[in-house]
A = this chain, B = another copy of it.
C-alpha cells in the first residue's frame, strides 16, 4: 500500500492514525476487507492490472490474486448481474462501476434484481453487495464522468446509500458497507480523492459495534453552530465548511451536518440540529427538481415545523445536465449561492 506514513500515530484504543488521501483510505478499506474475509471479491472495469482509473484498487490484484480482484468485460449491467449471482452463491462482492454516468446501464440489475432479491426470496438470498461508484462533479470531467445519482438510489426500497466526505469516513463507511448484509451504493466524491487527512486504521475491525462508532444511518456534525444548519454530503460538505468559515467572519455561526447516509437518512440527527438552529439550508450538486434536497427539506419540515424560523432553503445544481469544463463551477452550488441562501433564511 502506498499511503504516506508521515503523521502516523496511535489513536484512543491503540488504532493506528495515518495521514492519507481518500483514495488511499478506500484502497486501505478494500485491502482490509479482502484480508479479513475470503468471501470478498473486487471486480469491475480496469480495477485489476490498472488499479482503477483513480488507482483506488491499486495493488490489490497483486496482493490477492486474479481470483479475488479481477477485470470484467465492459458491461455495467453484466457486472451487477454477476455480483447478484455471486452473492446468491455466498460471496460478498464489491463491484466498481467506473463512473456515475455509467451506472445507468446497470439500473435494471440494481433496482429490479439486487435491491429486491432479499425481499423476493423472503430473506433466503441475502445481497451483501457494495457497489462502489465514483460520484459527483467538481473535476470538470467529460460528459457522464461527473453526475449525482443519489436521489435515484435513495428512492429504491432495499438499497442503502452512503457518501463519505473525508478519508476517515471513507475508510470506516466502506468497511461498514462491505460488512453489511444488505446492498449498499457507496458513492465516492471524486473531487475529494486527493484530500489528505488523518485516518484511524482500527485494524481488522472498524465496524460500529467494535469501535463504538456510529451505526449505519448516522449523520455527523462536521461543525457545530447556532444560527443555521447546512446539510450536505460528499464534496459539498467541504464547501459548506468553507461557507461556515466565511460566515463566521460576519458573526454568523453555522452548523454543518454531514448527512453521510443518504438512505436511510438520519431524521433524528437532522431534527435535533435544526430544532436548535431553527434554520436549515440543504446543499447538493444534483439538479434541484426531485433531488434529495427535497427529501431532506421535507423531513426537517415535517419534524420541526414549529421550530422553523424560515422555510428550508435548497441550494443545488440547476435542472440542466452537468455541463462541460468552464461551466461546471457555474452549475454547482457556489459559495456565494450558499451564503445568499443563509442570508435569506436568517432574514426571513
Which residues of A does B touch, CB under 8 Å?
77, 101, 104-105, 107-108, 111-112, 115-116, 119-120, 143-144, 151-152, 154-158, 263-265, 286-287, 289-295, 297-298, 301-302, 305, 310-314, 319-321, 348
Contacts and interface: CB of A to CB of B under 8 A. Distances in A.
Given A301-B312, A305-B311, A321 B158 contact: yes
A19 to B, nearest CB: 36
A307 to B, nearest CB: 11
A107 B105 CA distance: 7
B295 A302 contact: no
A241 to B, nearest CB: 24
Contacts of A154: 289-290
A348 B305 CA distance: 10
12 contacts: A104-B112, A120-B143, A151-B151, A151-B155, A151-B290, A152-B155, A154-B290, A157-B321, A289-B295, A294-B295, A297-B297, A298-B301
Contacts of A263: 289-290
A321 to B, nearest CB: 5
A234 to B, nearest CB: 16
Given A108-B105, A143-B120, A152-B155, A290 B301 contact: no
A151 B105 CA distance: 18
Contacts of A111: 104
B305 A298 contact: no
A320 B157 contact: yes
